[in-house]
Amino acid sequence: MDIFDRLKAAADADWRSYVDHDFVRRLGAGTLPEAAFRTYLVQDYLFLIQFARAYALASYKSRTLADIRAAQAGLAAVLAETELHVRLCGRWGLTPAEIEAAPEHQATVAYTRYVLDCGAAGDLLDLHVALAPCVVGYAEIGRALAAKDPAALRANPYAEWIGEYAGDGYQAVAAAARRHLDDLAARSMTERRFAELAALFAKASRLEADFWQMGLDAV
């Protein structure tokens, strides 16, 4: 069991509230209202801008070239992820400038600033634990939704979103993030500190669930 699985087990209820949220179930079934998805997608674009800053902070917090390269790879993955949002939002006539001009919802501010605060006040391990529910969680959600009914997925209006996170490219990003998190934990984590990290992970998972709920509340 790597550190990610240990954190997930310690925060089981909060983790399940995130990965098994009604937004996720309805997205997987193709029954999520388009208005909910549109609100989510615009906010997630704004969310990713702040996550790009978090990876820049990770580079600053790093003391080895290996850690800097990991931060660089994470930043590149976030920037690539925004292309999906631009592509999908473009189908509704939204330009990148219009998306960036949208006001941030409270759920967006709460989660992203929490992650940035974890990085600013803590060390590199704190920051990557705060990032992990999003980075690795989306890979787990995408893989689980894609595996349910491949035939139904083809008719799902959100198939492109699911395919992006279930795809080999994003799965590799998440796997690399898990390995790096495990390496950081091996270097600096004590059993006493694990309880603090588990609380941090649980909070980030709850904020992820709130982010899904923000989309549903827009309907």
Residue 1, pLDDT > 90, answer no
Helix (H) or strand (E) holding 1: none
pLDDT at 161: 96
| Burial (0-12, 13-18, 19+ Cβ within 10 Å), 112 | buried
Residue 219, pLDDT > 90, answer no
Is the distance from CB of 208 to CB of 111 less than 8 angstroms?
yes
Distance of alpha carbon 55 from alpha carbon 84, whole angstroms: 19
The residues assigned a catalytic role are 134, 208
Distance of alpha carbon 198 from alpha carbon 207, whole angstroms: 14
- pTM listed for this prediction: 0.95
Kindly calculate the radius of gyration of the chain based on its CA atoms and give it in whole angstroms: 17
Task: Assign 3-state DSSP to the chain and report helix, strand, coil percentages, each to 5.
Answer: 85, 0, 15
Each domain of the chain, given as residue ranges in start order, spans 3-217
Distance of alpha carbon 142 from alpha carbon 130, whole angstroms: 20
Q: pLDDT class for 151, splitting at 50, 70, 90?
A: confident
Is the distance from CB of 92 to CB of 98 less than 8 angstroms?
no
The whole-angstrom distance between residue 50's C-alpha and the CA centroid of its chain comes to: 12
pLDDT at 35: 96
Average pLDDT, the chain: 96
Mean pLDDT of 96-121: 97
| % of the chain residues with pLDDT over 90 | 94
Residue 201, pLDDT > 90, answer yes
Is the distance from CB of 30 to CB of 156 less than 8 angstroms?
yes
Q: pLDDT class for 148, splitting at 50, 70, 90?
A: confident
Distance of alpha carbon 203 from alpha carbon 32, whole angstroms: 25
Mean pLDDT of 125-143: 98
Q: Which residue has the tokens 């349910």?
A: 148
Q: Does domain 3-217 have CATH number 1.20.910.10?
A: yes
Mean pLDDT of 147-166: 90
Q: Which residue has the tokens 């395919």?
A: 163
Mean pLDDT of 122-148: 96
Q: pLDDT class for 29, splitting at 50, 70, 90?
A: very high
pLDDT at 117: 98
Q: What is the pLDDT of residues 53-83, one digit of tens each?
A: 999 999 999 999 999 999 999 999 999 999 9
